[in-house]
Structure 1
C-alpha cells in the first residue's frame, strides 16, 4: 500500500475514533448535567411545603425539561378523600373543564399503576381491556404518557403528559428523568400534605388560629420590607348560638363547613383564610389595600347571605358581620394592634344591625 494511502486511511480512522470519543464525552456531560438538575430539583421540591407552589414546580419541571404541549397533575386532595382530581393543568383552552375528570381510589387504573409505578405509554395501557373505562375518562386530556407518583405504599397522584412540541418521541433518558422526578415529587407531595394537615382545621379546611398568627407576623414583615399594602378581615356568623339552639349542633357544623368552603372559593391563592375560633373566620389579604379589602368583604357578605345552606327539610340562611383593617406601621406596632382594629370594626358591624361590613380607617 502506498504510504500516502496508508496515511489517509490512518487519519480517517483516527478522526472516526475522535468523533466517537467526542460523542461519548457529550453523552456523559449530558448525563451529569441532567443529574445535577435532578438533584437541584429534588432539593427544591423537598424544601417546599407550600402545596400550590410545589404542584406548580412539578408541572413546570416537566414542561421545561421535555418541551411538552400539555401537562396535568392529578392528585388525591387529602388522605381522607377517596377521589383523585385534576389539581393543575397547563396547555388547555379556557373552556377545558377540569372538574369533569375524577378517578376513584379503587379504580382499576390506579390499582394497576400503584402495583407497577413506572411511566406508561397511554396507547400501551389502552391494550388492557380492564383499564379502558378509566382511560376513556382521561382521553380528553390527549395523554401520551402517564407517570405515577408513589411514596412508600401510597399513590399520591399522577403526572399526565401530552406530546413534545418538537413532534419527537420521548426518549429513554427522558423517561428515566420522569421516573426519578416522580419519586421526588411523591415524597414532597406527601410531606406537604402532612404539613397542610397540621395547619388546617379538620372541620372547615381553613387554616388554624396558630398558623394565622404566624403568617400575619410574616406578612407584616413582608409589607414593611416591600412597602406593599396588607389588609385583614375579621368575621363572625350572626346569631350562631341561637342557630345551634334552634337547629342543633350538627346543623351548625354543616353551616360552618359550607361557609368555610364559600370563603375558600371567594379568596385568592395568596390569601390566608383561617378559622379564628368557633364561628369566627379571619383572612389575611397580602398586597391588598383597604378599598380592595372592603370589596372582598362585601362580596363575602353577599355570597353568605344569598347562599342556601342545606337543612333537614328546607334550605337555611345565615348572615355574617365583617370588620376590615389595613396595616398601618405608624399605629400597628405589632399584630395585636392590627387584629384589634379589625375586630373592633367587626363588632361595630354587629352593633349597627349585623350582616354588614365596617372598615377601621386608622
Structure 2
C-alpha cells in the first residue's frame, strides 16, 4: 500500500514537472515573439529588461551593451531600471576585461559573489561593482558576448534556484540574438559619423508617420536645418575639423529632442527632424532650442576655439498642401531658405 502511494505521488510529481516544462516553453515562445517583434534597438533593450524583471521578480535591472559595431566595450544602457547611479563612476566594462573573457568561455548565470570568487575581485570596474547585482546573465551572438544583464533586489528576497537560472539564461539566449539583429538593423539605417538616421530610413519613417497622423488626427511637424557657412569652415580648418563639427552638431540635435523624434542626416551639413504629435508652435520652440544650443558649441582647434550657428525651417503637415511627404519636406526646406536669405542663425516657419 505504501509503495503504491509512493508510486502515485511520484507519477504526480513527474506530471507536474512536465506541465511546468511545457508552460516554460510556451512562455519562452511568447517571449521570443515579443523580442523579435521590433528592430528598434532602444525599445528592444527596454523589452528585455522588463521581461527579465517580470520573470525573475526583481526590482532592478540593467543591460551593458555595445554602443556601435566598432566599440568592443560594454556600456550601461540608459534604459536601466531601479538603480541609483553614482555620477563619479564609469559604468563601462572594457572589451578585453577578464569578466567578458570569463563569460565568453563559461556561458552561464552567476551571482556577484560567484564572479568575485572566480575572478579574484572586480574593483577595476567600479560602476559594475557599485550596482551590486544579485544575478549576472551574459547575452551572446554566436560565440561573442554582446551584452550583460544585471538583476538586483528580488521582491521575495530569496536566492535564485537552479531552474530559474536556466530559465533566465534561455531568455538571454533569445535576447542576444534579438539584440544582434537589431544592432545590424541600426547599423544599416544609421550614419556612422553623426549617429543620426540615414535619409532613406527617414523618408520611410515619415511616410508611416504621415499615414498615422491622418488616422489619429494628430499634428506632425518637420524641422530642416543647415550649418551656417560650413564650407568656409571646412576650407579653413580642414575636413577632420569639419567632421568633428558635424558630430558636435548632431549630438546637440539629439540632446535637444525627444526619444520619439527622429533626426537624420539629410545632406552634407543638412539635417532633418521629424516631430510626431507636435504642432507648429511647439516645433518652433524645439527649433529655437536647437539653434541656441548650437551657438554654445565650442570646438578646440590648435590655440583657437571654433564656433558655429544653425539656420532652421519648420513646417507642419497640412493635408490640403502636403498630399505627399515630398511636398512637406519642400515646405520645410523653403522655410530654411528664408532663414538663410534673412541673415542665417534663425528659425523661419513655412507658410
Q: After TM superposition, is the score higher than 0.5?
A: yes
Q: TM-score, normalised by structure 2?
A: 0.94
Question: Are the aligned partners of 2:222 and 2:273 in contact in 1 as well (CA < 8 Å)?
Answer: yes
Question: Are the aligned partners of 1:120 and 1:146 in contact in 2 as well (CA < 8 Å)?
Answer: yes
Q: Identify which of 193, 205, 228 aligns with 2:183.
A: 193
Question: Could you tell me which residue of structure 1 aligns to residue 230 of structure 2?
Answer: 240
Distance (Å, rounded) in 1 between the aligned partners of 2:266 and 2:100: 38
Question: Could you tell me which residue of structure 1 aligns to residue 54 of structure 2?
Answer: 64
The 3 A distance-change label for structure 1 pair 258 and 99 is farther
Q: Identify which of 111, 115, 120 aligns with 2:110.
A: 120
Question: Could you tell me which residue of structure 2 aligns to residue 89 of structure 1?
Answer: 80
Count of residues in correspondence between the two structures: 350
Alignment partner of 1:183 is 2:154: no
In structure 1, the gaps of 5 or more residues are: 1-9
More off after superposition, 147-156 vs 316-325: 147-156
Give 1:135 deviation, angstroms: 5.6
Distance (Å, rounded) in 1 between the aligned partners of 2:218 and 2:87: 35
| Secondary structure in 1 matching 2:334 | helix
Give 1:82 deviation, angstroms: 3.0
Question: Are the aligned partners of 1:234 and 1:283 in contact in 2 as well (CA < 8 Å)?
Answer: yes
More off after superposition, 295-304 vs 149-158: 149-158
Q: TM-score, normalised by structure 1?
A: 0.92
Distance (Å, rounded) in 2 between the aligned partners of 1:26 and 1:264: 52
Q: Identify which of 343, 346, 349 aligns with 1:353.
A: 343
| Secondary structure in 2 matching 1:69 | strand
Q: What CA deviation, in whole Å up to 9, does each residue of 1:261-302 have, x standing for no partner?
A: 111222211111000000000001111111111111110000
Distance (Å, rounded) in 1 between the aligned partners of 2:23 and 2:86: 36
| Larger Rg over CA atoms | 1
In structure 2, the gaps of 5 or more residues are: none
Question: Are the aligned partners of 2:194 and 2:246 in contact in 1 as well (CA < 8 Å)?
Answer: yes
Alignment partner of 1:252 is 2:249: no
Question: Could you tell me which residue of structure 1 aligns to residue 194 of structure 2?
Answer: 204
Distance (Å, rounded) in 2 between the aligned partners of 1:320 and 1:221: 30
